[in-house]
Amino acid sequence: MGTIRTVIVDDSAFVRKAVRQMLSGSPRIDVVGLARNGDDALQMVEELKPDVVTCDLIMPGMDGVGFVRRQMARSPVPILLLTASPQDAERVLEALELGAVDFVQKPTALASEQLLFIREELIGKVEAAAQMHTRALSPKPELPRIGLEPAFTGKVDIVVLGISTGGPQALRYLVPQLASDFPVPLVMVLHMPIGYTGIFAEKLAEISPLPVKEASDGCSVQAGEALLAPAGRHLSFRRGSDGRVLVQLSVQPLDKPHRPSVDVLFKSAAQIYGGRVLGVVMTGMGDDGKEGAAWIKAQGGTILTESEESCVVYGMPREVVESGLSDASVPLTSMAEQISKRL
């Protein structure tokens, strides 16, 4: 792949300069344009045809949400948001629903050295965005809110799901298709910064027949309920004295690149539920979930992976598939049906 032509959109001249300086740390990234707001950005993207756009969320005139909405309707391009605070979480989630691929949290003290601390993350996400499938970025068609009836066989006691880049869009498509009387628990890890998972769980609950909530330490794992791991802590399971399975949240282990980690969730599910686990690995960068999938398979459980055609980033599923751990590769449009069939 050649150089990654990038446009930076921000109303602050300081931030535009700082982001440009950070991206210059990668020989693969070429900043071809600087825009002050969404209106400028629309024109610039049309003229320059960049591979990736970084865009501030809060701007006068057309903000980041407005730009994503207009640009994705016109011609999908990978857009990476820069946001200053978890207080903007609702607007970030709206932009992700509209097709933005990911976001980076800016430090609160902008006019300082702190901006440079996000350089590595920003470069990594721009480089990954350049490889994303733009066909998977377009907003998903709205589905009728009718839960699929699972053909319950009793072979599965829990569904665990791991997802990263492109995850909010994919889960908004998948979870509302699951029935309100889903016969087992669904427990999910989504890579997101602290301050966003609680609001995302609430948004998901609003559109889903299946109850969805952010998991809390010590809460019970129940059939007919979806739990989302909170950002910043790993989610694992333990059995209470009465035999119920309970959620355990911890910052340990510290050696995982993501917290929560899909590997930690999957390994714990295999240890508690044995072979009666259905693991699902969906769109995302990296290999989180591969080690966990091996634990589930070793216990006799089943693994589904999202197929490349519908992934925004075919990283995590590819790692599982290439390790020979996937029982079936399924497009997003069929994932709810395939999960329900295996119950």
Q: How far apart are CA 137 and CA 133, in angstroms?
A: 7
Tell me whether strands 245-250 and 234-239 are parallel, antiparallel or unpaired. antiparallel
Residues 6+ apart with CB under 8 A from 340: 148, 149, 150, 151, 178, 179
Element (H, E) at 239: strand 234-239
How far does the chain reach from its first CA to its final CA, in angstroms?
Answer: 42
191 is catalytic: yes
Is 250 a catalytic site residue? no
Report residue 56: phi and psi, to 5°: -65, 145
- CA-to-CA separations, 46 to 19, 42, 64, 74, 101, in angstroms, rounded: 21, 6, 17, 9, 19
**Residue 161 in contact with residue 185, Cβ under 8 Å?**
no
CA distance linking residue 327 with residue 163, whole number of Å:
17
Contacts within 8 Å (CB) and 24+ apart, 329-334? 329/304, 329/305, 330/304, 330/305, 330/306, 331/306, 331/307, 332/140, 332/170, 332/173, 332/174, 332/282, 332/306
Of residues 64, 11, 69, the one with CA closest to residue 35: 11
Residue type, 241: S
Concerning whether 288 is annotated as a catalytic residue, the answer is: yes
Which residues, including other chains, have CB under 8 Å from residue 240's CB and lie 6 or more apart?
220, 246
- Dmax (CA) for the chain in angstroms is 65
Q: Which of 10, 56, 88, 164 is catalytic?
A: 164
Which position among 26, 40, 102, 191 bears the catalytic label? 191
Tell me the backbone φ, ψ of residue 6, rounded to 5 degrees. -125, 140
Rg of the Cα trace of the chain? Answer: 20
Catalytic residue among 56, 63, 157, 288: 288
Write out the catalytic residue numbers.
Answer: 164, 191, 288
